[in-house]
Structure 1
Amino acid sequence: MQKLMLVAICLLLAVSSFAQIAPTPANERIKGLEKKSDLIRQSTINDVAFRNIGPSIMSGRVVDLAVNPANPNEFYVAYATGGLWYTHNNGQSFTPVFDSANVITIGAIAVDWSSGTIWVGTGEVNSSRSSYAGLGIYKSVNKGKSWQYMGLPESHHIGKIVLHPSNKNIAWVAVLGHLYSPNKERGVYKTTDGGKTWKQTLFVNDNTGVVDLDIQPNNASVLYAAAWYRTRTASNFEESGASSGIYKSTDGGNSWHLVTTNGAGFPVGKGVGRIGIATAYQHPNWVYAVVDNNFHLPDTAKKHTDTSKYTINDFKNLTKEQFLALDNKKFNAFLRIRRNGFPEKYTAENIKEKVSNGTLKPSCIWDYLMDANAALFNTPIIGCEVYRSEDAGKTWKKMNEKQLKLYNTYGYYFGKIFVSPANDNKVVITGFDIELSEDGGKTFKPINNALTHADHHVAWLNPKNDSHIIIGNDAGCNITYDDGEHWFKANTPSVGQFYSVTFDMAKPYNVYGGLQDNGSWYGPSNHQENPGWMASGDYAFKPINGGDGMQVQVDWRDNTTVYSGYQFGNYMRSNKHKRASVDEPDADAAPEDNHLNVTAADEKNEKSDSTIYIHPHADLGEEPLRFNWQTPILLSRHNQDILYYGSNKFQRSMHRGEHLETISNDLTTNPPQGNVPFGTLTTISESPLRFGMLYAGADDGSLHISFDDGYTWQSINEGLPKGLYVSRVTASAYKEGRVYVSLNGYRNDDFKPYLFVSEDYGKHWKSIGNDLPYESINVVKEDNKLPNIIYVGTDGGLYVSNNNGNSFMAWNKGLPYSIPVHDIAIQPVANEIILGTHGRSIYIASLSEIQKKLKQ
């Protein structure tokens, strides 16, 4: 109870600190689309086209599928941020059909195969760190050749679209609503005129939306809706609540009543998280539900651990007496595990002595290894459960006989269930694995394998041959014809979700970047996608590390030494041609798994091509460091032996990542902590004109400058909006005192473009980019040859200014109409701009013609 109260207080404080940041009203976003059209129409550079260089091999997150039951070779694949793609040849090739739409992020699709009508609900419902808000419903009556906007602009995230089986004018939509703010436009919406008008027929409360929806086969009067209470802020994620539950309608969705009430057999109360629902086909009154049950396991149900060695959990909540009674042999073995990062000076004996005399607390080991995610990942919850009602929702029975380990405390990322149209006892559930039951949910078995990646979101079972299954996961689309014994990938589109991009100085140069849940990769800048590589088995892009790929830095002196890593600041230095032997985590793995496991052969750090793990720790007894999901690193171009690193403090290595030292105080406001790391650095920049002049920005709006290589720092955020995420700070290469900063309100559902420049080292700021549309800004970059040109990447595309930011024009030739541009790099020798998009991989264009057109 005390922990819950603490989290609630942290949440309240976090919300109040952002009270001045209001969500962007839908009408402002729509006006922004008009502004964007003007910036495209007025652009003088939009005849210069981008080329896509892939990669496609790792694909991107699939959130929905629509398959033609009469011809399963024909289907649509919806990507979270990569648009909608169509295949007519069983996934051998795909064509994008949604690239002209105002927003490319998708939550759900539905297709009327008899007429070729497609419905798209924008904004995925996975509630993750890069789940972008949509603008409502789009519809095409000509198989995607053109699109009509059908409204629901405040929906933001749509979980399901259900079409009436016989009336083409009737459809129902499950609206989850805003991710980072409460809103009333949640619930179930119904249209009776083909989407021209909508009626909200189910509303629960401002923080409870509808995440899933299904209709009883052969009876369009009966529908079921899964309501889900969840809130998210920059510092805390609440993924369950008492208002979560299943609603039923018996009048075609015009009215609803709650069926998961006390005594019905389904979980009720604050621990009820995301719910997925599916109706059966042969038994009309059967309804399946999968629930993310966040109620705690009883103490007797805690997971058994290997008693021959200690794990992190053995150091949790110890009293002084319990700590002193720890076995020294096992304790010392735990301290020497490299990934735990304990300095050699510590032994079980001297730590116990410090605990005994009160110098250290009994919690010192736990505190040393845990970050702000501990409350989220180390809570012993029940997790995934499957229920079935055999009386149309009146009563429910738990079906799974054993605990399902489909996900831990991150069921918000999955939570769907699918029933075979040919067999009501054949059920598929999605999570880290994808699991199949053939006995109505009593027992399940994983059916994924090495070809399917992990983190599954959708499945389709062929009604004529239910061993034929198509699935979507974080790495694309897979197809099986034998219930998962064998799979093949259907991943030809370039839909990688890049967080970052950079380059080397080779000829031709290589491009590097980190991707959502697909590691870090590099490949040649002149790459052209071609399936012919399968004949040789040698794809041009190569992996560097796994996990969620983050920042990458390359030593230009050899174009071989690479600094890369994964979420929450786990980095390594390696030779890109000798990939490290590592145990890397899934995107949402527990913290005890979020450590790079370097092999013994890599312990010899004196070798220039050896792999070393880079992750700082506070000393025992100190407040733990905090790490952003996208922890920033930067290799100094003045001296490429120097690596800069940002937790909530500033770290520096003078020796190529070795001997990383913390040399600053906390550079954030040290805000109250929830279960999401907050009060962390997000961006670092070093002046190209002055060695050791550094800038650092944070997720709480803190912004600092150092003139002495990071030893001392001055706050420079006076005059800037407070409490916004500093997405990028960029020191100018043309004037020493000039610096650009972009702020991002995404984590407040504030989509205003915040862009500023200072000419005096951040003492005074000027707002620029005031003609940009309402799209959150991710990056600002100077041109490499002309000081008047700057480039801005937003969640909607790329914009260019030729007057230092006073006005902008769009540059999107060769790009989808709207695509999140997460990062921009400029290769100076080739004079090319590189875009890292979060959904369509990497684009490159020459800057020569741009510079000629915009030269003043």
Structure 2
Amino acid sequence: MSLLAQTTTDANSIQQSLEQKSLMMNSSLVKNIEFINIGPTVMSGRVVDVAVNPENTTEFYVGYASGGLWYTNNNGTTLTPVLDNAATLNIGDIAVDWKTGTIWVGTGENNSSRSSYAGIGILKSTDKGQTWQNVGLLDTHHIGRILINPNNPDEVIVGAIGHLYSSNKERGIFKTTDGGKTWAKTLFINENTGIIDVAVAPENFNVMYAASWQRERKAWNFDGDGENSAIYKSTDAGNSWTKIADNSGFPTGNGVGRIGLAVFNENTVYALHDSQYKREPKSKKVTSYNLTKEQFKNLTSAEVLALRNKTLDTYLKEYGFREKFRAEGVKQLLKPGGMKPKELMTFLDNEMAVAFEEPVIGAEVFKTTNGGKNWKKTHTNYLDGIYSSYGYYFGEIRVDLQDENSIYVLGVTIIKSKNGGKNFTSISKENTHSDHQALWVNPKKSGHLLEGNDGGLNISYDDGENWEKLNNIPVGQFYAVNVDHEKNYNVYGGLQDNGVWFGPNNARIDKSWKQYGQNPYQSIMGGDGMQVQIDDRNSNIVYTGSQFGSYFRIDRQTGSRKYIQPKPAKKEKPYRFNWQTPIQLSKHNQDILYLGSNKLHRSLNQGDTWETISEDLTHGGKKGNVAYGTLTTISESPFQFGLIYTGSDDGIISLTTNGGGSWTKISDNLPQDLWVSRVIASKFKKARVYATLNGYRFDDFTPYIYRSDDYGQTWINIGKEIPTSAVNVIKEDSENENILYLGTDNGLYVSLNQGTSWEAFSNNLPNVAVHDLVIQPIAKDLIVATHGRSLYKTNIAALQKINDSILAKSVAIFKVKNITKSKRWGNSRSPWRAANTPQVEVPFYVNADKKITIDVFSGKVKINSISIDADKGFNKAIYDVSFSEKGLKSYKKANKKAAIQKADNESYYLPKGKYTLKIGDEKISFKVE
């Protein structure tokens, strides 16, 4: 029986789920198993807004799309998270009343990308982020802008874009005059048109301008323009609004896209418009392209790499290539060992191109000097290279309040004009990442800029001629993670717009690397970083790539790389590749690699050649401008070569038991048409398989989690206890078949009984989207890839020992790691540094909240005791390897020849030997070596 999903999650369900998760976090059996962040910080994530104290510009807040809110009072030298105790880290806009210190956060990103997560309305803090209150607008999902009346901090204007993938009424402009206790909707256009920007006259809060935006996003198509995209004006502080774009010189009609606003004074306003109207047709006799397709095909890689970026961008734009394929990304693909121009052209044609037509106008700047009665475009030429074909992702413009003619336009690059927009120059200089999203222009000092982009935060004091990068916090947006099997194992991961990086799992995450010039994490791929597979036999051989199946085999030792994307045979239809194309190395033979398009491909020789081992395993795609009808997940059973599962973005799970000889659809009894985020063949039972479905692209946040014990013939719903949040990944434990880990758009969960019940797994892990999980089986570490806060890890050795017998005990104590004796214990190399204090972690389980005592023995002599108030579930005590005063006397009495010296910190530490830890009748030994 087919079970239809695609029901938009209502606001009440979201509110209830937030309360449910809070309760789960408080009662969780694993609430004391702590995660640590392992970075990286050298790259960053998407910044959506900055708020700077105008009286002290070294103090500011930075909002990240999915990484939370961060505060600095030392000009960005350090930043501290201040939203981690809130129910979401997803941000659309921030506003601060600096006189009172009140912070307003509009949750839900204001862009409309593939990973623009919905929010939970408006959060407010009156104590600099120590506590947060949700003050409403829960169903807005995405917030465009927040304005605070500088003369009345309780009067606030909010522009809400509304749902991303569905229609809804809670969008438009909302106003409160009582600090968020009540809201009035003062502007509503329709259920598909929201407000992306609101800007106020600096000298008069009564005068403000708003930009409406009509958009429709589906998994297979994005339409970011329409006749309801327009400019509105209010002269009564947002209580009423008048549409001012009609018959004014500003574009109207179905081609009007996203609009950004910058107000110099109540009459002088700049508007940045993403025009989706077509450019004027060019003469067929004279080509305008710098390169024809035939010319491009015949170039060598070196010749393309030598092209000016502007020339290459013109080619890419005018031939309709979409998304991130601009000059910088293309040149990355063409670097030595990569694609040839002919291969690249085929790749772009097949995967990224829309039907050939005249390109759209793209970015254009308009200005009014009479309060919006008339608008005039400031420039006569096209602003090429600002938006390419995805202006919906940008839309910010700023004006210097000290100079009416000094403006800044943000897009793929960032440009400035000193003559009111007639001419522009680029200020995308070294140290700035592309894709610019936020800009603060000092209203009192021209040339002082704070700028946010997809790669983090930058600051300039000379009007963008030079930039300093302020990336020192872990806010990377990871899509995927993996590990190798080196003794000190490495962690690998692909990130949104920041490529693929790897580094040692125990890397120091601080700024000390700048002293010796090499960050512990290293980049191995540009573009949008995707999945990573590492050869178990030789961790230098890595398979990874960027969006839409652009994968390479890389030899890290030699630096060589080979482009390995499967190509269709002549006259065969082009393959469709997902944004996050799945790959998997076979555990049965590490020369065998699987890769999914809309079909499954297998290479027997490390990607050198391919065979297609399936027909189309999707519903066949849909008409649109986003690749759809693609495979999203692959899993081969460790029990049998050729026993393979696949899942697609349109809801099909398929099984082959004979290496692709025949396929069976096994998802008919599951909710239909949803994105299959994972299908996992069990490592413990051959017939067992897990599947997670994701309704994010229908604004359906139901957790769909299933287990089958008969190869998918029947399914059991094991997700009923999970609070409402879309599911991205499920992972079996590496040793204990009863343990499952689950990553959602709002955090991590663990089950100790194959999904019968779940525990929130969140100590030091904020409410952030978890995209991927991997276990390093030797170290027994769980690595968590978050889409907003980089990577976390925790040791799960104790957790893996859990079983019914232990759960029934009053107390259980787990293995304690040995420790190496050091002369530094209790001493310091400098009088200005604290003494080195050793630590032994003592993991244990108790079946109820209770006070417990851990006794430390040397033989039969008790040498110390530790008391701790333990919570029901897993706990960890820290023993500093010292003697108590009484224990030292007892030890010396029993060991008369022992020579134990006092350390600088007045403590006496254990000599080498074997020691026992006891909790009641439970005991465990460890060594000081």
Q: Give the corresponding residue for 1:501.
A: 481
* One-letter amino acid of the structure 1 residue matched with residue 141 of structure 2: H
Is the Cα contact below 8 Å between 1:376 and 1:676 reproduced in 2?
A: no
* One-letter amino acid of the structure 1 residue matched with residue 187 of structure 2: L
1:542, distance to aligned residue in structure 2 (A):
0.6
- Write the deviation string for residues 38-81 of structure 1: whole angstroms up to 9, x where unpaired: 22122111111011110000111000000111111111110000
Q: Give the corresponding residue for 2:194.
A: 209
Q: Distance in 2 between matches of 1:303 and 1:99?
A: 52
SS at match of 1:30: helix
SS at match of 1:799: strand
1:359-438, aligned counterparts within 5 Å? 370-371=349-350, 373-375=352-354, 380-405=359-384, 406-438=386-418
Question: Does the C-alpha gap of structure 1 residues 337 and 462 become closer, same or farther in structure 2, counting only changes over 3 Å?
Answer: closer
Is the Cα contact below 8 Å between 1:791 and 1:798 reproduced in 2?
A: yes
1:473-512, aligned counterparts within 5 Å? 473-512=453-492
Is the Cα contact below 8 Å between 1:502 and 1:511 reproduced in 2?
A: yes
Is the Cα contact below 8 Å between 1:48 and 1:849 reproduced in 2?
A: no
| One of 266, 269, 277 as aligned partner of 2:250 | 266
1:188-587, aligned counterparts within 5 Å? 188-261=173-246, 263-281=247-265, 284-300=266-282, 303-306=288-291, 309-311=294-296, 338-341=340-343, 370-371=349-350, 373-375=352-354, 380-405=359-384, 406-579=386-559
Q: Give the corresponding residue for 1:755.
A: 705
* One-letter amino acid of the structure 2 residue matched with residue 207 of structure 1: N
| One of 655, 661, 665 as aligned partner of 1:705 | 655
1:701, distance to aligned residue in structure 2 (A):
0.2
Is the Cα contact below 8 Å between 1:86 and 1:95 reproduced in 2?
A: yes
1:82-101, aligned counterparts within 5 Å? 82-101=67-86
- Write the deviation string for residues 126-162 of structure 1: whole angstroms up to 9, x where unpaired: 1000000001100111111111111101110101100
1:688, distance to aligned residue in structure 2 (A):
1.5
Q: Distance in 1 between matches of 2:210 and 2:558?
A: 51
| One of 61, 75, 78 as aligned partner of 2:63 | 78
Tell me, yes or no, if structure 1 residue 184 matches structure 2 residue 169.
yes
Q: Distance in 2 between matches of 1:54 and 1:631?
A: 24
Q: Give the corresponding residue for 1:141.
A: 126
SS at match of 1:160: strand
Tell me, yes or no, if structure 1 residue 782 matches structure 2 residue 732.
yes
Q: Give the corresponding residue for 2:896.
A: none
Kindly indicate whether structure 1 or structure 2 has the higher relative contact order, using CA contacts under 8 Å at least 6 residues apart.
1
Is the Cα contact below 8 Å between 1:370 and 1:624 reproduced in 2?
A: no
Is the Cα contact below 8 Å between 1:372 and 1:674 reproduced in 2?
A: no
Q: Give the corresponding residue for 2:601.
A: 651
- Write the deviation string for residues 345-388 of structure 1: whole angstroms up to 9, x where unpaired: xxxxxxxxxxxxxxxxxxxx97x852354228976000000000
Question: Does the C-alpha gap of structure 1 residues 636 and 740 become closer, same or farther in structure 2, counting only changes over 3 Å?
Answer: same
Q: How many residues align?
A: 765
Q: Distance in 1 between matches of 2:540 and 2:356?
A: 36
SS at match of 1:370: helix
Q: Distance in 1 between matches of 2:558 and 2:174?
A: 54
1:771, distance to aligned residue in structure 2 (A):
0.6
1:649-798, aligned counterparts within 5 Å? 649-798=599-748
* One-letter amino acid of the structure 1 residue matched with residue 251 of structure 2: P
Question: Does the C-alpha gap of structure 1 residues 19 and 128 become closer, same or farther in structure 2, counting only changes over 3 Å?
Answer: farther
Tell me, yes or no, if structure 1 residue 69 matches structure 2 residue 51.
no
- Is the strand fraction higher in 1 or 2? 2
Q: Distance in 1 between matches of 2:398 and 2:716?
A: 53
SS at match of 2:473: coil
Is the Cα contact below 8 Å between 2:649 and 2:674 reproduced in 1?
A: yes
Q: Distance in 2 between matches of 1:444 and 1:730?
A: 52
SS at match of 2:569: coil
Q: Distance in 2 between matches of 1:37 and 1:227?
A: 36
Is the Cα contact below 8 Å between 1:371 and 1:677 reproduced in 2?
A: no
SS at match of 1:371: helix
Q: Distance in 2 between matches of 1:687 and 1:663?
A: 16
Question: Does the C-alpha gap of structure 1 residues 293 and 141 become closer, same or farther in structure 2, counting only changes over 3 Å?
Answer: same
1:619, distance to aligned residue in structure 2 (A):
2.3
SS at match of 1:535: helix
SS at match of 1:341: helix
Is the Cα contact below 8 Å between 1:372 and 1:673 reproduced in 2?
A: no
Q: Give the corresponding residue for 2:922.
A: none
* One-letter amino acid of the structure 2 residue matched with residue 175 of structure 1: A
Q: Distance in 2 between matches of 1:311 and 1:536?
A: 42
1:661, distance to aligned residue in structure 2 (A):
2.0
Q: Distance in 2 between matches of 1:311 and 1:295?
A: 27
Is the Cα contact below 8 Å between 1:77 and 1:84 reproduced in 2?
A: yes
Q: Give the corresponding residue for 1:802.
A: 752
Is the Cα contact below 8 Å between 1:45 and 1:853 reproduced in 2?
A: no
1:829-844, aligned counterparts within 5 Å? 829-844=778-793
Q: Distance in 2 between matches of 1:19 and 1:505?
A: 43
Unpaired runs of 5+ residues, structure 2, are: 298-314, 320-337, 806-929
Question: Does the C-alpha gap of structure 1 residues 308 and 677 become closer, same or farther in structure 2, counting only changes over 3 Å?
Answer: closer
- Please, what TM-score do these two structures have when normalized by structure 1? 0.87
| One of 48, 61, 67 as aligned partner of 2:33 | 48
* One-letter amino acid of the structure 1 residue matched with residue 777 of structure 2: P
Q: Distance in 2 between matches of 1:468 and 1:129?
A: 33
Q: Distance in 1 between matches of 2:425 and 2:68?
A: 32
Q: Distance in 2 between matches of 1:574 and 1:846?
A: 30
- Write the deviation string for residues 622-651 of structure 1: whole angstroms up to 9, x where unpaired: 221101000000011110000000000010
- Please, what TM-score do these two structures have when normalized by structure 2? 0.80
SS at match of 2:20: helix
Question: Does the C-alpha gap of structure 1 residues 854 and 268 become closer, same or farther in structure 2, counting only changes over 3 Å?
Answer: farther
Tell me, yes or no, if structure 1 residue 824 matches structure 2 residue 743.
no
| One of 33, 53, 60 as aligned partner of 2:18 | 33
Q: Distance in 1 between matches of 2:779 and 2:359?
A: 53
Question: Does the C-alpha gap of structure 1 residues 578 and 539 become closer, same or farther in structure 2, counting only changes over 3 Å?
Answer: farther
Q: Distance in 1 between matches of 2:482 and 2:355?
A: 32
Unpaired runs of 5+ residues, structure 1, are: 1-16, 318-335, 343-364, 580-609
1:578, distance to aligned residue in structure 2 (A):
4.3
* One-letter amino acid of the structure 2 residue matched with residue 430 of structure 1: L
SS at match of 2:578: coil
* One-letter amino acid of the structure 1 residue matched with residue 255 of structure 2: G
Q: Distance in 2 between matches of 1:117 and 1:285?
A: 30
1:339, distance to aligned residue in structure 2 (A):
4.6
* One-letter amino acid of the structure 2 residue matched with residue 844 of structure 1: K
* One-letter amino acid of the structure 2 residue matched with residue 146 of structure 1: T
